[in-house]
Structure 1
Amino acid sequence: MRTLITTQLLPLLLLLLQPPQFQRAFKYYDLSDTEAEEFEDYLEELFATGPTKPPTKEDFQKTVIIQPGRPLSDPEYCNDEIKMKNVHNRLYCRKEHFFLQVAYEKVQKICHNIYVPCKNGVKKCHRSKKLIEGVYCNLTAGVKMSYCEYESFYRQGYALITCRWQNDIQEIIPDHVNDLQVISD
């Protein structure tokens, strides 16, 4: 006697392996309509296979700029901040990340400085004229979010950033921190 599992094994496995689909009918109990819509957009972007949304000023401020108060030399700084600020690439751990303790407006001004080579040698970075304090996060364990573990390094140096044009606000904005160069004497 044959069962559905033995006769239709492959289609059943394919159904089980599909990513979860979130439907509009799903009720978000503690979210307003606006928050529920933003959450749905987030899930759609997270599981999308196409290109990602271009970076925005708000994204950079949320994931890179940090406020004074907590010691930058704290060994758990990166582990805590990366989880709190939800820093990842489609739920995968970033191999490295930088947090800068500086006003966003000062970082945006760096975009108008001349091009210098990035740490990978490509000449598309802008370098700050003044020293900036920050934290360098280096991935030591984990592949997916919530299992990411980072080693934290306090740095004071010149920020190397890439910049991009943001159409809706008609401004050039910081896109990515490539390095925080420590200049040795």
Structure 2
Amino acid sequence: MRMLITTYSLPLLLLLLQPLQFQEVYYEDYYLPAYRSTEGFEDFWVEFHSTGPTRPPSKEKVKRRILVNPGMPLGDSGYCNYQIMRKNVYYKHSCVTEHYFLLMQYDELEKTCYNGFVPCKNGIRKCNRSKNLVEGVYCNLTEASDIPMCRYESFYRRGYVLITCTWQNEIQKLIPYTINDLVEPPKHKSP
């Protein structure tokens, strides 16, 4: 009897499991909601296996991957591991080396695109800086390079967000593209 050997075991497994519903799981003492629709999973699957250019940035993508709601304490040491897994933050089959989560409304972040330019942390590109202080978490990759084994160190920050923006033709305005840094305000010296 001949047996079919495939290098695409994950897609085959997912096809076999297609009629099953995703169940609620707990990860490092945090609740992960079950997928209520397949839309999020389909977005994940398309981006995960795409070989062409990435999708253009969108308001929904920024809200889904960068902005967080109040709830879990930002200073929690497992914050990045939980949020990166929950929000499917990755690049192709690899972990991202760094990422920022911001506790703010999208409209406020979008207004930052129209502020003046400041140097980015890499000193090459032009970034826009927020006028108000923002709370957020900086995630730095410490372990692994392939998903889902990514492990991050979490750093709470409160400062000015530096972002890059891009023009979106469909809505005819600038939208946030990437978070470059979250710069803490200078500390004043006592006399």
What's the TM-score bracket when you normalise by the shorter of the two chains?
0.7 to 0.9
Please say if 1:135 is aligned against 2:116: no
Measured against aligned partners, the alpha-carbon deviations of 1:26-52 in whole angstroms (never above 9, x if no partner) come to 883258xxx557755643432122111
- Determine which structure has the larger helix proportion and give its number: 1
For residue 170 of structure 1, what is the aligned residue in structure 2?
172
Residue aligning to 1:114: 116
Q: Are the equivalent residues in 1 in contact too, given 2:44–2:88 (CA < 8 A)?
A: no
- Asked if the contact 1:28/1:36 (under 8 Å) is kept, the reply is no
Of 154, 160, 166, the match for 1:158: 160
Decide whether aligned partners of structure 1 residues 20 and 57 sit closer, same or farther in structure 2, where only a CA change above 3 A counts: same
Matched, 1:59 2:61: yes
Closer/same/farther in 2, CA of residues 39 and 130 from structure 1, 3 Å limit: closer
Alpha-carbon distance in 1 for matches of 2:40, 2:159 = 37
Q: Is the 1:115–1:123 contact (alpha carbons within 8 Å) kept by the matching residues of 2? A: no
Query: Quick one: percent identity of the two aligned structures?
Result: 47
Q: For residues 52 and 163 of structure 2, what CA distance do their matches in structure 1 show?
A: 25
Code of the residue aligned with 1:28 in structure 2: it is: Q
Structure 1 pair 128–179 and aligned structure 2 pair: CA distance change class (3 A): same
Runs of 4+ in 1 over 4 A off after TM superposition: 15-22, 35-42
Which residue of 1 is the match for residue 100 of structure 2? 98
Corresponding position of 1:9: none
Q: Which residues of structure 1 form unaligned runs of 5+?
A: 1-11
Q: Give the SS at the match of 1:168.
A: coil
| TM value normalised by structure 2 | 0.77
- The residue aligned with 1:5 is none
RMSD: 2.5
What is residue 3 of structure 1 aligned with on the other side?
A: none
**TM-score, normalized by length of structure 1?**
0.80
Q: Give SS of 1:178's match.
A: strand
Q: Please, which runs of 5 or more residues in structure 2 have no aligned partner?
A: 22-36
Compared with structure 1, are the counterparts of its residues 123 and 36 closer, same or farther at alpha carbon in structure 2 (3 Å cutoff)? closer
Q: Is the contact made by 1:131 and 1:158 (CA closer than 8 Å) also made in structure 2?
A: yes
**1:19 CA drift (Å):** 8.1
* Residue identity in the other structure for 1:29: P
Shift of 1:124: 1.7
Distance in structure 2 (CA, Å) of the matches to 1:93 and 1:152: 15
**Contact 1:126-1:161 at 8 Å conserved across structures:** yes
Give the total of aligned pairs: 168
Return 159-168 or 134-143, whichever deviates more. 159-168
Where 2:83 maps in the other structure, the secondary structure is: helix
